[in-house]
């Protein structure tokens, strides 16, 4: 299970980095752009809920 937890942590870090880069880009191109409050920014695994489905046929 540790392997999957590590992969999830890596993906969350990648999403956070992408979010920050897009926010910076918006600030340079859009006059009405604002930075999201810290509470709404993606930073850690606990900011997400993991939802899974199991389909048995």
Write the DSSP symbol of residue 38: G
pLDDT at 18: 87
Considering the domain boundaries, does residue 39 fall inside one?
yes
Confidence (pLDDT) at 55: 81
pTM: 0.61
Q: Kindly state whether residue 35 falls inside one of the protein's structural domains.
A: yes
Q: Is 26 a member of any domain?
A: yes
CA dihedral in degrees (51, 21, 42, 3; nearest 10)?
Answer: 60
Residue 47 is predicted with a pLDDT of 72
- Which domain does 12 fall in, by range? 2-47
Residue 55 within a domain: no
Predicted pLDDT at 30: 74
User: Could you give the number of structural domains in the chain?
Assistant: 1
Q: Which residues of the chain have pLDDT under 50?
A: none
């Amino acid at each position: 299970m540790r392997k999957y937890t590590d992969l999830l942590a890596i993906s969350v870090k990648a999403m956070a980095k992408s979010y920050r880069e897009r926010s910076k880009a918006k600030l340079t191109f859009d006059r009405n752009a604002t930075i999201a409050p810290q509470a709404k920014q993606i930073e850690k695994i606990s900011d997400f809920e993991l939802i899974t489905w199991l389909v048995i046929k």
